[in-house]
């Protein structure tokens, strides 16, 4: 990089500006289960990361009223050379839990993830399904108001899907909010109240989940 | 149940006390993991953390204490003289060296969590601090061996160590941030680290340097700290900033430390929010 600056001091560095998102505005109500759908490259992950405060928008603002727990890609901070026991401490701390809280919830985490026999094994020996169970199990222990779920859930098996759907039910009863990014339209229709259809960084549809999914399905057949 | 209203806009936001407590916990976990990975994984483990500086010391003592016979007083004093310089030098090299890739290597973390990247180079310096603490045991060993009696001046070692740490942190912040944009920094650092052992009076007494060189070298906070600690602990005269510049001379290295930290914090504050997209 330094080399380029020195060899061509008079060239102007040019970038091609690409707008990942344009004019995206929406409100999510407390206790709502909100889906975000759209084709690959439409900006869903970017949007989720902006909601989570990971990316900073060039224009506009985000207001989040409550504690937000992001579940974007498996197990933030997971170190595969260490055991599940160590990784729970790392991941849970990164997600916001204190040492006391981690100690108190440790058994619940292992139990929900069904990993009692593997607690002290290195994470590199875990299957992707086990990793998902562990990561999700930790994420739901964080006392969140809003849960952001990215497309990670797809890796789970049938038993995990059922388990996580059951947790959604308890979240709904507790009045928690979920923002769910997924390609799995069936689950989105099943779980979400309203949805946003994102296409090429713009809001293509926003409203009750069934009508938004219908619009998405329409454009998919037209294009395909 | 704690609820917070968090507003992210293109403008800056100031961290709350809760957020700072969070970063303190993260810092402890990250530094602990780094230390564990660095030493617990290899066969020699923690032994290696002491073997390295002792090996350095052994060779330098042999070459510069025996073969070259650099004027440094008696052999015992030279050993203590050398180990002090070495431990200070190694702390700086270790701290900055670990910090260099600390942000880029944790790209996965920054992409998945709302995270202030400043924690990463600081965690690296904390890992280096732990090694420094272990190395200091070697210094204590040689102090005991030389049968020096401590006096009140030894309390000054604490603020000197603090100054050293602050300088390491500032340098760590600068280099880790620059590395995100300019990968060539790694090459420059490698070279600088190697040259620095000759440019700082680690294995030779500062008074062999010509006056103009002394004036240049004593601007370096590392040299100022190294020489001050030596003059406190060792019997006999050591050249310190006070002799080269007068007591006001301390303002120069202290100003450099302050400048380094300010520059590091400013750089991170300015470019930090975009790291998640860049790395």
Domain boundary assignment for chain A: 22-66+145-224, 76-143
CB contact under 8 A, B112 and A54: yes
Q: How far is CA B270 from the centre of its chain?
A: 24
Kindly report the backbone phi and psi dihedral angles of residue A82, in degrees, each rounded to the nearest multiple of 5, phi listed first.
Answer: -110, 165
CB contact under 8 A, B3 and A53: no
- B115-144 in b/e form (b: 16+ CB < 10 A) is bbbbbbbbbbbbbbbbbbeebbebbeebbe
Which chain A residues touch B274 with a CB distance below 8 Å?
Answer: 56
Kindly report the backbone phi and psi dihedral angles of residue B41, in degrees, each rounded to the nearest multiple of 5, phi listed first.
Answer: -80, -40
> Tokens 């590199």 belong to which residue?
A124
Which chain A residues touch B117 with a CB distance below 8 Å?
Answer: none
Of B29, B108, B110, the CB nearest to A89: B29
Distances (CA, A) of A188 to A31, A145, A151: 16, 20, 11
3-state DSSP call for residue B196? Answer: helix
**Does A62 contact chain B (CB < 8 Å)?**
yes
> pLDDT at position A108, please?
94
- Pick among B3, B33, B36 to test the A interface (most A CBs inside 10 A): B33
- Pick among B30, B112, B185 to test the A interface (most A CBs inside 10 A): B112
**Does A11 contact chain B (CB < 8 Å)?**
no
> pLDDT at position A7, please?
47
- Tens digit of each residue's pLDDT, chain B (279 residues): 344 455 555 444 556 788 889 999 999 898 888 777 776 666 666 677 777 788 888 898 888 877 777 665 444 588 889 999 999 999 999 999 999 999 999 888 888 888 889 999 999 999 899 889 988 988 898 888 888 888 888 999 999 999 999 999 999 999 999 999 999 999 999 999 999 999 999 988 888 889 999 999 999 999 999 999 999 998 877 888 888 888 888 999 999 999 999 999 999 999 988 888 887
Give pLDDT tens digits for A134-148. 999 999 898 899 999
**Does B1 contact chain A (CB < 8 Å)?**
yes
Chain B residue closest to A97 (CA)? B22
> pLDDT at position B14, please?
59
**Does B26 contact chain A (CB < 8 Å)?**
yes
Chain B residue closest to A92 (CA)? B26
Percent of chain A with pLDDT over 70: 91
Give pLDDT tens digits for A51-77. 988 888 888 888 888 888 888 877 788
Which residues have C-beta within 8 Å of that of residue B250, sequence separation ≥ 6?
Answer: B224, B241, B242
**Does A52 contact chain B (CB < 8 Å)?**
yes
Which A residues, 90 through 149, put their C-beta within 8 Å of a C-beta on chain B? 90, 93-96, 98-99, 143, 145
CB A45 within 8 A of CB A181: yes
Distances (CA, A) of A9 to B178, B180, B264: 19, 21, 26
Which chain B residues touch A146 with a CB distance below 8 Å?
Answer: none
**Does A208 contact chain B (CB < 8 Å)?**
no
**Does A58 contact chain B (CB < 8 Å)?**
yes
Q: List residues bridging with A69 in a β-sheet.
A: A147
Q: Which two tokens stand for residue B67?
A: 């073969």
> pLDDT at position A223, please?
55
Q: Which two tokens stand for residue B95?
A: 């701290």
The whole-chain average pLDDT of chain A stands at 86
Domain boundary assignment for chain B: 17-273
**Does B108 contact chain A (CB < 8 Å)?**
yes
> pLDDT at position A101, please?
94
Of A54, A67, A99, the CB nearest to B3: A67
Which chain A residues touch B186 with a CB distance below 8 Å?
Answer: none
**Does B190 contact chain A (CB < 8 Å)?**
no
Rounded to two decimals, the pTM is 0.83
CB contact under 8 A, A82 and B4: no
CB contact under 8 A, B5 and A64: yes
**Does B187 contact chain A (CB < 8 Å)?**
no
pLDDT band at A224 (very low <50, low <70, confident <90, very high): very low
Q: Does domain A22-66+145-224 have CATH number 3.10.20.30?
A: no
- B216-241 in b/e form (b: 16+ CB < 10 A) is ebbbbbbbbbbbbbbbbbbeeebbbb
Q: List residues bridging with A206 in a β-sheet.
A: A196
DSSP A61: E
């Amino acid at each position: 990089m330094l080399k380029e600056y020195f060899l061509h001091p008079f060239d102007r560095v040019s970038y091609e500006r690409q707008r990942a998102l344009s004019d995206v505005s929406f409100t999510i109500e407390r206790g709502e289960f909100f889906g975000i759908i759209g084709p690959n490259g439409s900006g869903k992950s970017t949007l989720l990361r902006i909601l989570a405060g990971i990316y900073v928008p060039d224009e506009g603002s985000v207001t989040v009223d409550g504690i937000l727990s992001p579940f974007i890609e498996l197990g933030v901070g997971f170190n595969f050379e260490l055991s599940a026991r160590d990784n729970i401490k790392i991941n849970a701390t990164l997600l916001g839990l204190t040492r006391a809280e981690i100690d108190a919830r440790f058994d619940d985490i292992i139990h929900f993830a069904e990993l009692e026999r593997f607690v002290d094994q290195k994470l590199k020996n875990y299957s992707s399904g086990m990793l998902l169970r562990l990561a999700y199990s930790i994420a739901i222990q964080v006392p969140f108001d809003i849960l952001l779920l990215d497309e990670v859930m797809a890796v789970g098996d049938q038993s995990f899907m059922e388990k996580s759907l059951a947790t959604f039910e308890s979240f709904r009863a507790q009045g928690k909010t979920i923002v769910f990014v997924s390609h799995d339209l069936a689950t989105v229709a099943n779980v979400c109240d309203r949805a946003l259809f994102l296409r090429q960084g713009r809001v293509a549809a926003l409203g009750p989940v069934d009508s938004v999914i219908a619009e998405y399905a329409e454009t998919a057949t037209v294009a395909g | 149940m704690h609820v917070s209203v968090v507003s992210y806009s293109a403008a800056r936001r100031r961290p709350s006390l809760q957020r700072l407590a969070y970063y303190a916990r993260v810092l402890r976990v990250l530094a602990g993991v780094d230390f564990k990975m660095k030493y617990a994984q290899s066969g020699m483990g923690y032994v290696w953390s002491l073997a390295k500086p002792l090996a350095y010391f052994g060779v330098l003592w042999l070459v510069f204490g025996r073969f070259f016979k650099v004027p440094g007083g008696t052999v015992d004093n030279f050993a203590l003289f050398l180990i002090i310089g070495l431990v200070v030098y190694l702390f700086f090299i270790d701290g900055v060296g670990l910090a260099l890739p600390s942000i880029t290597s944790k790209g996965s973390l920054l992409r998945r969590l709302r995270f202030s990247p400043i924690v990463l180079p600081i965690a690296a310096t904390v890992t280096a601090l732990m090694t420094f603490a272990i190395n200091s045991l070697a210094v204590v060993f040689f102090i005991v061996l030389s049968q020096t009696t401590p006096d009140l001046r030894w309390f000054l070692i604490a603020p000197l160590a603090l100054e050293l740490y602050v300088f390491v942190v500032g340098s760590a912040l600068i280099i880790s941030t620059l590395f995100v944009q300019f990968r060539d920094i790694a090459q420059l650092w490698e070279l600088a680290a190697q040259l620095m052992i000759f440019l700082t009076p680690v294995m030779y007494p500062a008074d062999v340097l010509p006056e103009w060189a002394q004036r240049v070298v004593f601007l370096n906070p590392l040299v100022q700290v190294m020489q001050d600690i030596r003059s406190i602990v060792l019997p006999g005269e050591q050249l310190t900033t006070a002799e080269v510049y007068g007591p006001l001379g301390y303002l120069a290295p202290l100003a450099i430390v302050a400048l380094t930290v300010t520059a590091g914090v400013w750089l991170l504050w300015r470019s930090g929010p975009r790291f998640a997209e860049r790395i």
